[in-house]
Each structure stands twice: as C-alpha cells, then as structure tokens.
Chain A
Amino acid sequence: MFRRIEPAPAAGTLVFDGRSIAFQAGDSVATALIAAGVERFRDHPRDAAPRAPYCMMGVCFECLVEIDGRQNQQACLIPARDGMVVHVQTGARQIPERGHDR
C-alpha cells in the first residue's frame, strides 16, 4: 500500500477492472494504480501468479496491463489519461480466434 505525501487535486479518472480511480497530474498508469492500492497488475503467463511493478522504469515488464483494449502495455511508461479503461493482464495475450469476414 502507498499513500500520497500531500493530496493534490485529481487530474482525471481512469477505470481499473470496473473501479474508478482518480489520478494526479504526472501520474503514470502504474503510479495511479499503486496509489489506489492495486496490488495485482497481471497474472504471470507461466504460473498465473500475481505480479506487480518491480522497477518502475520500463526494464522489468512486470507491470503489464491491458489499456483501452491493448494488452501487455507497460503501465509504468504510459501516462494516465482521463477515461482510460484498464484491466488486469491475465496471463499471455489473447487474440480473437475468429476472422472478420464471416
């Protein structure tokens, strides 16, 4: 769990797995989520164990989440934006098995 040293006005709101999360100016998606108490960002593709940010600087790829329908996005590198829809990344990426033309 984390807390802000000083509350600041919210710069916007994103939705994480259905829950509204207000974020501050300058927050990355990862910062916004850990500030809101999110502990599990993804389930590991090999053993489904929960994982969460480890490096916060783009090298460890542990903070992968789904953002606005795009999977395996690095939450620590992407600025939080108002209206973003974020989900836990459950294991490996999933792509639709059906084509578009039938």
Chain B
Amino acid sequence: MTADRMDTDHIAADRTSHDWDAVVIGTGPAGMAAAAALAEGGARTLVVDEQPEIGGQIYRAIERNRNHSRLARILGADYLRGAPLAERLRASGAEISLGTLVWRIDEERGVWIRRHGAIERVSARAVVLATGAMERPVPTPGWTLPGVMGIGALQIALKSGGLVPAGRLVLAGSGPLFLLFARQCLAAGVRDMVLLDTSDSTHLLGGLPLLPRALTGEGWRYLLKGAGLLAALRRAGVPFYRGVRDIALEGERHVTAIRFVHRGGAARLACDTVGLHEGVIPQQQITRSLGCAHEFNPAQGSFRPVLGASGTTDLPGIHVAGDAGGIIGAQASAHDGNIAALAILRDIGRLAPEAAERRIAAETRARHAHLTVRPFLDRLYPPRAEILAPADDTVICRCENVTAGALREAVGRGVTGPNQAKAFLRCGMGPCQGRLCGPTATAIIAAATHRSPEETGYYRVRTPLKPVTVGELAGLADHGAPNAERNRERPS
C-alpha cells in the first residue's frame, strides 16, 4: 500500500492544477447556491458542470431563455426563479468550469476531471456534491424504441432547443413533472396530446391525513400550482386517462403505438412520441463510488446517502446538497446549497460559528417551508408497481439487454444480490454503469428474496464515473511504470 500511495500522491500532485477551498459539482439550484455562497464568503471556489451552460436540468439554459419571451412564458415562473440564482453565481466570483466531467473523487478530496480533452485533478478542503436527480428508470415493454423518452428528457429538449414533439404525443406517468410538462406543451401549441395518468386514485385517500401539513409553509403554493395545471389541461380538453396500467410500446424501428389497460379494458393508441415518467431519484453514482453509507427511503422509493446536519457524509469534508441527498425540489435545494456552504465557511474559518449557526437556522427554516408538501406528494405519486416488478420479457438493463426474467432466473439459482447478478448476467456492466438498471435490479431481487431494498443492497459503483479513454489514463503514466514489468512476468 505504501509504495502505491506514494505513487498516487506523485501523480496526483503533478496533475493538481489548483488547490481550492471548495469544489462544487453541479450547477443546478443546490450547486449554484452553494458555489455562490462559498465565493461570497471568501472561499476560493470552483464549480464544475458537464453541461455547457449553467442551470442543471431544472434551470437548464436559464441564461439564454430568460430573455426569450415566448419560451420563458411557456416554461413558467418557477423556471425563471433560476435567473437570479444564475446572476448571483456569476457575480459571486466563483470560478465556473463548464463542459467538465467528474470521473473520480478520491478520499483526499481530490476531484478528477476531464475538460477540453485533458485530465486534471483539483483538490479542495471541501467538496459539495450537487449532482441532483435523474428520472426513475421505467422498464416497460418497448421502452428502448426510438421515440420513447423520459418526460424530463422531453422537457430538456424544450428548454435547451425550444423543441416540442410533432405528431401525436402520449405522456404516460404521474407526478408533478408529468402535469407540468403537459401544461408546458399546451402552452407551446402542442395540439395532439394524450395523457395517461398511472397514479392510483386510492393513493389520494392514503395521502389525505398528510394534507393539512402539506398546506403549511410554502406547501399550499405547490398544491395550488398542481390544481392549476390540472384545471388548465381539463379546460383545454386534453384527453386524460386515469388509473392507467400495463403500458407497452409498439414499433419496429420507432415507436408507433402505445397499449395500456384502462378501467379494466385494453386500449391502444397510435402515436409518434411517448414520454414516460414515474418521478425522480437521487443520482447516487458519486456517493456510492466513495463508499458513503446509503439508506433506502421507503416514502420516495429510492436510495439516498446517509447525511448529517448541513449535508455532511461519513467522509470528512464531503457534503451533499440538493436532490442528490433525497428529493426535495428546486427551491429547497437552493437553501440546501446555502446550508452546506455556510457550514463549510464555518469549518474553514471563514465565518464565525455564531453567525454561521444563525444563518444556517434561517436557511433551514426556509428550506423546511418547501418540504411540508413532500410527504403528501410522495404518498400521492408512488412509482407504478409494474416498473418495480416488470414482466419477465421486459428489458431492465438497456446497455446489455438483460431482461427481468433473466434476473429472476439467476435469483432462483442462488444469486442473492445486485453484484452477483451483475457478475453473472452483465446487468449493469454497460456504458451507463448501472444507472438505468440499478434501482430495478434491487427491486426485483428484493421482491424475489423477500427482503427490503436496503437489505438487498445496490451495485458497487466503480470509477471512472464518466468515460475517460485508455489513452487519457495512459497519458498520466509519465513517471515510469514500476508495476508494468512485474505484470508481464506474472500474467495470471
């Protein structure tokens, strides 16, 4: 270990371009707020994002679109909340590095990045992981066909390119984004749109006890917005099927139709584009790769890293802010970013403890006001059961075309967890590195072995977290290769 570690330090030192007080990963609401607050507090701060523009996914292309009156109107007031945040980040003095992939983080808070085709390591006294959420994978028969996308993905096309689907659009799913995007399509002039709501109306009853609390704080605004979206869609006469299940996509080279069951009867609609959505889940690749403890949150049906106050992980100096730590939404995420930043400023001696506590308390109250509605929404919109228990012939691992049935068969032969399943089936071994099958694999194995998702566990996530090439890694070996000779001598 010792010789190895010295080598690592040698390369790391050689490749480390700057030592920062803080490196923030992600420029969504949490990342923008964290980086701005850190820089405002005097910390030398670098914020990176793999996209070419700041904003993350929720405020995607905010700096371009805020002045685009039509698109700004379509996307709505909540989207435009990203504009002052972006301004704040720009004015804060934080260094912003876009088009920058993070492919590894080491225990010494070294962040390995690739930008402009070159690899560097940036080290910091504190790292804020503000990597946000991704759409929950929705394994559905035919979901690998071109023309089938996440509703979040369709919304990204709208934000980043002013694009809306032409021809018939079917949106199938549930949750706030499902309704919001439908409304945005309406405003954008999409005429031929059908909504298949997969939420179960019985969940409304279960959610009622949570409703009083949901009306407190800022919660009522979310509920009012939801009611407004529904009313607008109804006024416009958008076909709206409720309680839809057993969805399947048809097509040879591109989706051509969607099948589903509605009120006990089979239905089929020809279509040109399908958007699927069953909520969002935290992006856990980085925290998993670092070996941080994770827990399963049954209310949200997803894993999240175990975090302390102000987003601390079990690794010193590594914080998580925003949806990456559990789904809290954009506005609470911005407060979360502020909280992490204030705690870091305190820890590195840039902010007096009393001032930090006072400001953290205020941010925590503001954050909490946005969370009152969350338990109600979580109860109202759980993911539809069939995506957690897909039919045997449904592909769950898109990269390696592994089906739910193949996984169940392996479990029947004694595979007890996701890692053995990965080894035996290549499930999760493709380029997406298990992002699109991990949640499903855990759910299927848990069900088949009568254990909880937490007991079942999750893939061990390996670096590189994003693609780097063999040549880029080889290029780091300019300092001689002490192990190479031995490796050739002892090949097996």
Contacts and interface: CB of A to CB of B under 8 A. Distances in A.
A46 B163 contact: no
B460 interface: no
A10 B161 CA distance: 12
B14 to A, nearest CB: 26
B399 A31 contact: no
Nearest to B399: A61
A35 B163 contact: yes
B436 interface: yes
Contacts of A44: 144, 401
A60 B398 contact: yes
A2 B165 contact: yes
Contact of B432 (A28, A35, A59): A59
A1 B167 contact: yes
Given A51-B144, A60-B435, A5 B74 contact: yes
Nearest to A44: B401
B54 to A, nearest CB: 13
Interface string B321-361: 00000000000000000000000000000000000000000
Please report whether the interface of chain A is mostly helix, strand, loop or mixed according to DSSP.
Answer: loop
A98 interface: no
Given A3-B163, A8-B162, A39-B253, A77 B273 contact: no
Interface string A19-61: 0000011111001101100011100101101111111111111
Interface in B264-294: 272-273, 283
Contact of B153 (A35, A49, A51, A57): A57
Contacts of A1: 165-167, 272-273
Contacts of A69: none
A5 B254 CA distance: 23
Contacts of B150: 54-56
Nearest to B51: A77
B401 A4 contact: no
Contact of A50 (B57, B161, B254, B400): B254
Nearest to A54: B149
Interface size class of B (residues with CB under 8 A): 35 or more
A83 interface: no
Contacts of B164: 2-3, 5
B156 interface: yes
B316 interface: no
Contacts of A86: none
B171 to A, nearest CB: 15
A3 B398 contact: no
A5 to B, nearest CB: 5
Interface in B20-65: 50-53, 57, 61, 64
A72 B431 contact: yes
Contact of B161 (A35, A40, A60, A62): A35
Given A4-B163, A77-B51, 17 more contacts: A1-B165, A1-B273, A4-B162, A24-B161, A26-B53, A31-B163, A51-B144, A53-B153, A56-B150, A56-B152, A57-B57, A57-B152, A58-B50, A59-B432, A59-B435, A61-B430, A62-B144
24 contacts: A1-B272, A2-B164, A3-B165, A5-B188, A26-B64, A26-B161, A28-B161, A35-B163, A39-B147, A40-B254, A41-B146, A44-B144, A46-B400, A47-B401, A51-B146, A54-B148, A54-B150, A54-B153, A54-B398, A55-B150, A55-B153, A60-B435, A60-B436, A61-B432
